[in-house]
Amino acid sequence: MKSPKTHPAAVAEDTREKARAASRAERDWSSVFYRVALSISRELDLERLLWLIMDEVRQALEADRCTVFLWDEDTDELWALAAHGAEEIRFPASLGIAGHVLRTGEVLNIPDAYNDPRFNPAIDRETGYRTRSILTAPLRNHVGETIGVFQVLNKESGPFTREDELLLDAISGIAATQIENARLYAELKDSFESFVETLASIIDARDPETAGHSKRLALYCEELARLLDLSAQDTEKLRIAALLHDYGKIAVREAILYKADALTEDEQESMRNHPVFTRRILEEIHFPKTLRDVPQIAAAHHERLDGSGYPDGLTGEEIPPLARLLAVVDVFDAMTSRRSYRGRMDLRDVMEELRRGQGRLYDATYVEALEQLSVARFLEILNDGELSFMSSADREVLSGLDLRTLVNLLNTNVPTPEVRLFERYYLPDETQGCENGQT
């Protein structure tokens, strides 16, 4: 640690007035620390946590900038979040002042950067920023491992003080602990989500007729959630319900699932029962509070506004809104996917079918949202989310176009470049034959 610089008690004459100032500063110190500790310990989302820490420390130390660099063990690099849109910052952990602090565990308080040989002015030259003072401290977890580095720049009122060092060191303990909590939480969340995705891919693989269906549904749901500006919580709920909505098919015998001929009445009954099984299975899972109605949403994807759906024949408002959304994209994906007995349906017919059912079978809000989907994204999802099948120039052309406009163009029967492009992707040659054979 550096020796104290401007701590009032350390430099003050031994007078009552100065002792009181010290006591006040001490009190400020603990109230600042308390506020920061409380604020930091609330956040379990890693990215939000890192932003929060940087912001809190910047304010607490009355500095212009604060960055948290985390050590990436696998690559031996330091990395930091960058402002929205920009790529994260990354450099070898052996470099610069941050690297020095990571290796030595020292707190470095540099009052004047340009007078310190360890400072690298190259970044200032690049960015136009003028670094004056720097305070850098290690982030140590509870077993004393340094997991990263705090770097605070340009204290407003001059160089950083001994108090700033102490405060930063104290915050660093809480921050490192909470970063590790957030990592544990993220790891578990990731496990849960990858489990759901793995399940979905198994459901999808089991029925070759609808291969990739659950995954595509989840992707459509994400797009519509964005277009409708749904909350993060509703989006997540919808995504999980989409991935699991057909899980009940696991209880439908393969003999029925794979049957090429028309199903008997009993077999149809068994097929129509799959949402009941979906609900029954999903109700066994103790979903977190925020995902508690996933089973209801997933099980109602075949319900229709007029009560003609199954399994419960729910009507209108009885159907959860997110299930009404799921119903629209479920039908949409069925019609735009190939089947063994037909190619993809003509997109005009698909949208016409949804339009006709709007208000009677399907919730108009979600049909209209679907019409706003970009054609480029639609084609990507149709190809199970693979971005590589389309050239970026083509994607550029098609991303400005939404489904509604495309259908209008298709209806005018004038083969604009966009329409020709779309048709190339929507009806690739290998199915052309099959489709022609059917129509």
* CB-nearer residue toward a second copy: 82 or 188: 188
Binding mask 26-65 for a second copy (x = CB under 8 A): xx-xx--xx--xx--xx-x---------------------
Q: Which of 155, 237, 249, 289 is catalytic?
A: 249
Q: Does 74 bind a second copy (CB under 8 A)?
A: no
The angle, 0 to 180 degrees and rounded to 10, between the axes of the packed helices 417-426 and 375-382 is 10
What is the DSSP pairing of strand 108-110 with strand 134-140?
Answer: antiparallel
Binding mask 237-276 for a second copy (x = CB under 8 A): -------------xx-xxx---------------------
Q: Please identify which residue in 7, 118, 132, 206 interacts with a second copy, judged by CB under 8 A.
A: 206
Q: Does 19 bind a second copy (CB under 8 A)?
A: yes
In the complex, the smallest distance separating the C-beta of residue 82 from a second copy, rounded to whole angstroms, is: 25
Site for a second copy in 287-316 (CB under 8 A): 287-289, 291
Other CB atoms within 10 A of residue 29 CB: 16
Q: Please identify which residue in 285, 306, 313, 433 interacts with a second copy, judged by CB under 8 A.
A: 285
Q: Does 10 bind a second copy (CB under 8 A)?
A: no
Site for a second copy in 370-409 (CB under 8 A): none
CA 403/CA 369 separation, integer angstroms: 10
Asked about 189 being catalytic, the answer comes back as no
In sequence order, which residues have a C-beta less than 8 Å from that of residue 361 and are 6 or more positions away? Answer: 304, 305, 306, 308, 309, 327
Spatial contact of 361 and 308, defined as CB atoms under 8 Å apart:
yes
In the complex, the smallest distance separating the C-beta of residue 365 from a second copy, rounded to whole angstroms, is: 30
In the complex, the smallest distance separating the C-beta of residue 151 from a second copy, rounded to whole angstroms, is: 22
In sequence order, which residues have a C-beta less than 8 Å from that of residue 142 and are 6 or more positions away? Answer: 173, 176, 177, 180
* CB-nearer residue toward a second copy: 201 or 399: 201
95: its two tokens: 């470099």
Spatial contact of 311 and 302, defined as CB atoms under 8 Å apart:
yes
Q: Does 202 bind a second copy (CB under 8 A)?
A: yes
Q: Please identify which residue in 124, 145, 197, 371 interacts with a second copy, judged by CB under 8 A.
A: 197
Q: Please identify which residue in 73, 112, 187, 269 interacts with a second copy, judged by CB under 8 A.
A: 187
Stretch near a second copy under the rule CB under 8 A, chosen from 115-123, 278-286, 348-356, 358-366: 278-286
In sequence order, which residues have a C-beta less than 8 Å from that of residue 35 and are 6 or more positions away? Answer: 56, 60
Q: Does 214 bind a second copy (CB under 8 A)?
A: no
CA 321/CA 325 separation, integer angstroms: 6
Site for a second copy in 117-176 (CB under 8 A): 142, 170, 173-174
In the complex, the smallest distance separating the C-beta of residue 33 from a second copy, rounded to whole angstroms, is: 7
| CA nearest neighbour of 50 among 176, 236, 196 | 176
Q: Please identify which residue in 194, 264, 308, 411 interacts with a second copy, judged by CB under 8 A.
A: 194
In the complex, the smallest distance separating the C-beta of residue 255 from a second copy, rounded to whole angstroms, is: 7
* CB-nearer residue toward a second copy: 40 or 335: 40
Q: Does 177 bind a second copy (CB under 8 A)?
A: yes
Q: Please identify which residue in 2, 90, 189, 339 interacts with a second copy, judged by CB under 8 A.
A: 189
CA 399/CA 372 separation, integer angstroms: 11
Residues within the interface to a second copy (CB under 8 A): 9, 14-16, 19-20, 22-23, 26-27, 29-30, 33-34, 37-38, 41-42, 44, 142, 170, 173-174, 177-178, 180-181, 184-185, 187-192, 194-199, 201-202, 205-206, 250-251, 253-255, 281, 284-289, 291
Q: What amino acid positions are annotated as catalytic residues?
A: 249
